[in-house]
Amino acid sequence: MQKLCIHCKKYPVTEVNVAGRKKYLCQGCQYLSGRFLVGEKLVAESEDKKGQKRHLVVGALIFSKDKKSILLNKRRVWPYCYDIPAGHIKLDETPKTAIAREVLEETGLSIAKSQLLDHEIFNDDSCRYGCDTHEWFLFKCSVRDYNVLPNSESEDVTWHPIAQLKAMNFLPATKYFIKSHVLENNHRKSSRKNSIEKITDAGGDMDAVLAERREEMLYHLSTALFKLDAIENILQMAVKEITSSMNCYSSSIYLYNPRNQMLEVGAYANSEGASSPHDLHQFKLGAGITGSAAFKRKIIAISDISTEKEYIGKATDKGAIIAIPILSKDKLVGTLSVSYNDPKIFTEAEAQYLSILGSMIGLAIENNRLYKRLDNKVQNLSMLFGVTSISGRQTKNTIQQMVDTVPALLESEKCHFLIFNPLKNNFGSFALSNDEGSLLPEIPLGQGVTSKIFLSQKPMFVNDADANSDIILKYRKIFNIKSQLSIPVQAGAKSIGVLHVINKVNGDFNDEDLKLASIVASRIGMKIENTNSIAEIKSEKDFLDSVIENSDEGILIINSKGDITVWNRFLEKVFGIKRSEVIGKSGLNLAKKIGAQELYWKVVRSMQKNHYLEKEITAASGERILLGINIFFVGDEHEQSAVVMARDITKERNLLQAKNDLISTATHELRTPLTAVKGYLSMAQNPNAGELSEKQMKYLGKASESTERLVNLIEDLLGALRIDENRVVLDKQVFKAGPMINEAIANLQSKAKAKDIRIYNKSAYDTFVFADPIKSKQIVENLIDNAIKYTHDHGKIFIATEKSIHDIKISIKDTGVGINKADAEKVFERFYRISNPLSISAGGTGLGLYIAKNLVEQQGGRIWLDSEIGRGTTFNFTLPTTNIIK
Partner 1 sequence: MKPQSIILVEDDLTLVEMYRDKLKEEGFRVLTVTDGKLAMQRIRQGADLILLDILMPNLNGFEILKRIKSDSKTKNIPVIVLTNIGSETVDSDKNLALSLGASDYMVKSLNTPDDVVARVRSII
Phi-psi region of 313 (alpha: psi -120 to 50; beta: other; left: phi over 0): left
Going by the DSSP 8-state scheme, the letter that residue 12 receives in this structure is B
Is residue 688 a contact residue for partner 1 (CB under 8 A)? yes
Residues numbered 597 to 636 that lie near partner 1 (CB under 8 A) are none
183 binds partner 1 (CB under 8 A): no
Residues numbered 452-471 forming contacts with partner 1, rule: CB under 8 A = none
220 close to 241: Cβ distance less than 8 angstroms: yes
Binding of partner 1 at residue 679 (CB under 8 A)? yes
Of 674, 717, 764, 824, which one interacts with partner 1 (CB under 8 A)?
674
Stretch that binds partner 1, among 94-102, 477-485, 676-684, 844-852 (CB under 8 A): 676-684
Tell me the site size for partner 1, rule CB under 8 A. 25
Task: Give the interface segment with partner 1, choosing from 191-199, 398-406, 542-550, 672-680 (CB under 8 A).
Answer: 672-680
Residue whose CB is less far from partner 1, 710 or 824: 710
**Which residue blocks in 278-336 are alpha helix, DSSP H?**
288-296
In the complex, minimum distance from the CB of residue 703 to partner 1, in angstroms, rounded to a whole number: 13
Which SS3 state, helix, strand or coil, does residue 669 take?
helix
Report the phi/psi class of residue 157: left, alpha or beta, with left for phi > 0 and alpha for psi in -120 to 50. beta
Nearer to partner 1, 344 or 777 (CB): 777
In the bound complex, what is the minimum distance in angstroms from residue 717's beta carbon to partner 1? 12
| Of 671 and 830, CB closest to partner 1 | 671
Interacting positions 647-666 with partner 1 (CB under 8 A)? 664
Which of 142, 539, 550, 675 forms a contact with partner 1 (CB under 8 A)?
A: 675
Site string for partner 1, 30-59 (x = CB under 8 A): ------------------------------
Terminal Cα distance for the chain, rounded: 105
Q: Is the dihedral of CA 161, 162, 163, 169 positive or negative?
A: positive
- Using CA of residue 465, residue 467, residue 468, residue 474, what is the dihedral sign? positive
Helices and strands (DSSP H and E) totals, the chain: 23, 33
Distance CA(391)–CA(380), nearest Å, equals 20
Kindly identify the residues of this chain, within the stretch 107-146, that bind partner 1 according to CB under 8 A: none
CB of 651 to partner 1, least distance (A): 23
As measured in angstroms, the least distance from the Cβ of 768 to partner 1 is 21
Asked if 732 touches partner 1 (CB under 8 A), the answer is: no
Q: How far is the CB of 675 from partner 1 (least distance, A)?
A: 4
Task: Give Cβ neighbours of residue 712 (< 8 Å, ≥ 6 apart).
Answer: 843, 844, 845
Q: Which is nearer to partner 1, 187 or 671 (CB)?
A: 671
Binding partner 1 by CB under 8 A: which of 775, 789, 813, 853?
Answer: 775
- Judged by CB under 8 A, the stretch of 48-56, 433-441, 513-521, 715-723 that binds partner 1 is 715-723
The number of C-alpha atoms within 13 Å of 597 and in the hemisphere containing its C-beta is: 4
- Residue 777 has phi, psi (to 5 degrees) of -65, -40
Closest approach of partner 1 to the CB of residue 646, in Å? 27
Mode of pairing for the β-strands spanning 796-803 and 758-762: parallel
What are phi and psi for residue 299, nearest 5 degrees? -75, 130
Q: How far is the CB of 601 from partner 1 (least distance, A)?
A: 30
Applying CB under 8 A, the span of 176-184, 277-285, 691-699, 772-780 interacting with partner 1 comes to 772-780
Count of other CB atoms within 10 angstroms of residue 140: 16
Instruction: Choose the stretch contacting partner 1; rule: CB under 8 A; options: 72-80, 320-328, 775-783, 876-884.
Output: 775-783
Q: Identify the residue among 222, 352, 546, 686 touching partner 1 (CB under 8 A).
A: 686
CB 151 within 8 A of CB 65: no
Does residue number 774 form part of the binding site for partner 1 (CB under 8 A)?
yes
Strands 53-60 and 120-123, bridge-based pairing: unpaired
Give the whole-angstrom CA distance, residue 446 versus residue 596.
70
Report the C-alpha gap between 26 and 10 in whole angstroms.
9
- Rule CB under 8 A: is residue 667 a binding residue for partner 1? yes
Question: Which is it for the CA torsion 47, 48, 54, 59, positive or negative?
Answer: negative
Residue 848 sits in the site that holds partner 1 (CB under 8 A): no
Q: Is 678 in the site for partner 1 (CB under 8 A)?
A: yes
- Exposed, middle or buried by CB within 10 Å (0-12, 13-18, 19+), for 693? exposed
Residue from 163, 473, 683, 697 in contact with partner 1 (CB under 8 A): 683
As a whole number of angstroms, the distance between CA 135 and CA 518 comes to: 50
User: By CB under 8 A, is residue 719 in contact with partner 1?
Assistant: yes
Closest distance between partner 1 and the C-beta of residue 723, in Å?
A: 11
- Any contact of residue 181 with partner 1 (CB under 8 A)? no
Q: How far is the CB of 660 from partner 1 (least distance, A)?
A: 10
Site for partner 1 in 391-410 (CB under 8 A): none
> Is 672 one of the binding residues for partner 1 (CB under 8 A)?
yes
714 in contact with partner 1 (CB under 8 A): yes
Measured distance CA(768)–CA(881) in Å, rounded: 6
Residue choice 259, 278, 605, 668 for contact with partner 1 (CB under 8 A): 668
Options 680, 703, 738, 830; binder of partner 1; rule CB under 8 A: 680
Closest CA to 819 of 779, 781, 863, 871: 871
Do 233 and 250 contact (CB within 8 A), yes or no? no
Candidates 535, 547, 676, 697: give the one binding partner 1 (CB under 8 A). Answer: 676
Task: Give min distance, CB of 815 to partner 1, in A.
Answer: 28
User: Which one among 181, 240, 671, 833 touches partner 1, defined by CB under 8 A?
Assistant: 671
What is the sign, positive or negative, of the torsion defined by CA atoms of 683, 688, 689, 690? positive
- Of 206 and 730, the one with the shorter C-beta distance to partner 1 is 730
| Residue 683: CB minimum distance to partner 1, A | 6
Residue 728 Cβ vs partner 1, minimum distance, rounded to whole Å? 9
Give the whole-angstrom CA distance, residue 280 versus residue 270: 14
Q: Rounded to an integer, what distance in angstroms lies between the CA atom of residue 344 and that of residue 303?
A: 5
* E strands in 463-540: 484-491, 494-504
Q: Is 673 in the site for partner 1 (CB under 8 A)?
A: yes
SS (H, E, C) 177-244: HHHHHHHHHHHCHHHHHHHHHHHHHCCCCHHHHHHHHHHHHHHHHHHHHHCCCCHHHHHHHHHHHHHH
Shortest Å distance, C-beta 612 to partner 1: 21
Indicate the SS3 state at residue 757: coil
Provide the minimum distance between the beta carbon of 552 and partner 1 in the complex, in angstroms, as a whole number. 32
715 binding partner 1? (CB under 8 A): yes
Which of 768, 784, 755, 796 is closest to 852 using CA atoms?
784
Q: How far apart are CA 786 and CA 809, in angstroms?
A: 18
Smallest separation, CB 704 to partner 1 (Å): 9
Determine the angle formed by the axes of helices 171-187 and 206-226, rounding to 10 degrees: 130
Name the minimum Å distance from CB 770 to partner 1.
17
Asked if 700 is part of the footprint of partner 1 (rule: CB under 8 A), the reply reads no
Q: Which of 718, 721, 764, 824 binds partner 1 (CB under 8 A)?
A: 718
Kindly indicate which of the ranges 402-410, 538-546, 774-782, 864-872 contains the residues binding partner 1, using the contact rule CB under 8 A. 774-782
Query: Residue 806 carries which side chain, given as an amino acid letter?
Result: H
Distance CA 797, CA 816 (A): 9
Minimum CB separation of residue 800 from partner 1 in Å reads 24
Nearest CA to 319 among 338, 303, 301?
303
| Smallest distance, partner 1 to C-beta of residue 813, A | 24
Q: Which residues bind partner 1 (CB under 8 A)?
A: 664, 667-668, 671-676, 678-680, 682-683, 686, 688, 711, 714-715, 718-719, 774-775, 777-778
